[in-house]
Amino acid sequence: MHRFGEATRRVRIRRFASNASSYRVLVLGGGAGGQAVSSALSRRLGKGAVGVVEPASVHYYQPMWTFVGAGAKRFEESRKDMSDVMSSGVDWIKTAVTQFEPEKNRVATQDGKTISYEYLVVALGIQLDFHKVKGLAECVGKDGVSSNYSANTVRMTWKFLEDFKGGEALFTFPNTPIKCAGAPQKIMYLADDLWRKKGMRGNVNISYYSSLPVIFGAKKYAATLNQVAKCKDVNLNFRHNLVEVKGKSKEAIFENLDTQEKKTVKYDFMHVTPPMSPPDILKGSPLSDAVGWVDVDKETLQHKKYPNVFGIGDCTNVPTSKTAAAVAGQSGVLRENLLAAMRGQALTQKYDGYTSCPLPTSYGKLVLAEFDFNGEPLETFPVNQGKERRPFYFMKKDMMPFLYWNLLLKGRWKGPKMMRTLAHLGMNKR
Ligand SMILES: Cc1cc2nc3c(=O)[nH]c(=O)nc-3n(C[C@H](O)[C@H](O)[C@H](O)COP(=O)(O)OP(=O)(O)OC[C@H]3O[C@@H](n4cnc5c(N)ncnc54)[C@H](O)[C@@H]3O)c2cc1C
């Protein structure tokens, strides 16, 4: 019997006979954060104690999409059936959550059911808002416009890059928080390298349009990336937000965020990073802050108002860069704090803001940015990670997927803190 077939048989998909059911821990979302937490907690609390509400049939390893868009990985390698990643110890409730009632310790779901809980973990990810840029939803995936951010469009990036005959190539960064803030420029560096290898870079004008005032938030890595962009002859345009795409005439309209002036730029290829926001069901919910992010303490990950509610990953207002690496760092903290809360003990684990952004700068080189809440480096290896390095590229491309599928999703990878201490022979301060 095929290994995945076996896993599929073991996962229990709950379809409730009555309209109500109850769990010790209910996890909302079966993405990176939901899987990491639910797997680990089900091992500690036993079978049937943890329920996961997740409507999707497929789980994607999204960090691979940069390489899929650049033709260095196949799309199929980034996906697995949800039943193959869901722990056999949890009940998978295959529907979407539609309403929160934290005063009554229960949620409502799309199939008209109510689920009660003792503890709730919210791991709903971030929403892609292609529709917020005029004309974008209609043309993304067609006529030279692509985005690595969606499973529906990532394969078109590679097709357009490969078929490109030269001209204007644009890469954008929106005026909202996004997941993996390095991804909008990663694909640009790989595209540059591809076109150089094909001997056609002289026919291409590459421009980066970002809403941010700088190339990257963490200063140490920004210094390297400014240099990389310069060497690659990339035109950098900061404080520019994409507000409209005219697919037929291949024109992108940007607003200068300082002067509000609009400028129209012709393109032959454009990689768009869409605006993003908290999932609609969180906006205005009792669990969310004024914007819609789940309102948690940035260190304990416990909800600021409801002590039996915790949040993890992209859907929270934890002020760090939204990545799977951050999810790893948060998952161990959340798990231990939630178990402590169950025992009536103080929450002692503190998340330090650890996040990571591996930035490939060509096919074969990568800057491994790792930093904390303040953008201060929290580097695992005892070398200068702000330099482009070859081993990091292969670590990201070939080792990270193994770590994600086999350790992170199973709740066995809490980030590289221990590795960092070992690699620095215990001499590191954090
Ligand atoms: C192109 C790209 C490149 C990236 N590169 C990197 C990288 O190099 N390194 C890195 O660490 N991270 C990277 N990331 C970011 C990383 O993938 C995310 O930060 C990570 O997946 C966040 O995990 P999460 O659990 O918060 O959200 P997700 O993994 O997105 O999971 C959210 C889950 O919630 C489910 N859900 C949504 N609505 C509902 C509902 N109403 N009810 C129930 N379930 C619901 C969804 O179906 C989904 O399964 C990248 C992402 C992209 C797109």
d(CA 76, CA 88): 23
Give the fold, CATH level 3, of 3-127+278-342. FAD/NAD(P)-binding domain (3.50.50)
Q: How remote is the CA of residue 251 from the centroid of ligand 1, in Å?
A: 30
> Which amino acid makes up residue 390?
R
**What radius of gyration do the chain's Cα atoms show?**
22
pLDDT in tens, 77-118: 999 999 999 999 999 999 999 999 999 999 999 999 999 999
Question: What is the per-residue pLDDT for 17?
Answer: 58
Task: Indicate which residue's Cα is closest to atom 48 of ligand 1.
Answer: 31
Domain 136-276, CATH: 3.50.50.60
Question: Which residues, 6+ apart, have CB-to-CB distance to 394 below 8 Å?
Answer: none
Dist CA 222 CA 152 (whole Å): 31
Instruction: Say what the pLDDT of residue 185 is.
Output: 98
Q: Indicate the residue type of 184.
A: P
| Residue among 7, 89, 101 nearest 43 (CA) | 89
| pLDDT band of 429, cuts 50, 70, 90 | low
Binding site membership of 279 for ligand 1 (Cβ less than 6 Å): yes
At residue 419, the pLDDT reads 83
Q: Can 231 be counted among the known catalytic residues?
A: no
Cα(57) to centroid of ligand 1, in Å? 14
Q: Is the CB of 191 under 6 A from ligand 1?
A: no
Decide whether any atom of ligand 1 lies within 6 Å of the 180 Cβ: yes
Q: Is the Cβ atom of 323 under 6 angstroms away from ligand 1?
A: yes
User: With contact defined as beta carbons under 8 Å apart, do 351 and 318 qualify?
Assistant: yes
Confidence tier at 418 by pLDDT (50, 70, 90): confident
List the residue whose alpha carbon is closest to atom 3 of ligand 1: 63
Structural tokens at position 35 = 């899987």
Outline which parts of the chain fall under CATH 3.50.50.60. Answer: 3-127+278-342, 136-276
The pLDDT, as a whole number, for residue 14 is 73
Q: Supply the pTM of this predicted model.
A: 0.96
The string of pLDDT tens digits covering residues 287-296 is 999 999 999 9
CA-CA-CA-CA dihedral for 397, 402, 405, 409, to nearest 10? -100
Q: What is the DSSP letter of 202?
A: G
- Is residue 51 lining ligand 1, measured as CB closer than 6 Å? no
If 0-12 CB within 10 Å is exposed, 13-18 middle and 19+ buried, where does residue 406 land? Answer: exposed
* Interatomic CA distance for residues 12 and 255, integer angstroms: 50
357 included as an active-site residue:
yes
Q: Is the pLDDT of residue 394 over 70?
A: yes
* 416 C-beta closer than 6 A to ligand 1: no
Of 52, 120, 124, 301, the residue with max ligand 1 atoms within 8 A of its CB, to mutate for a pocket test, comes to 124
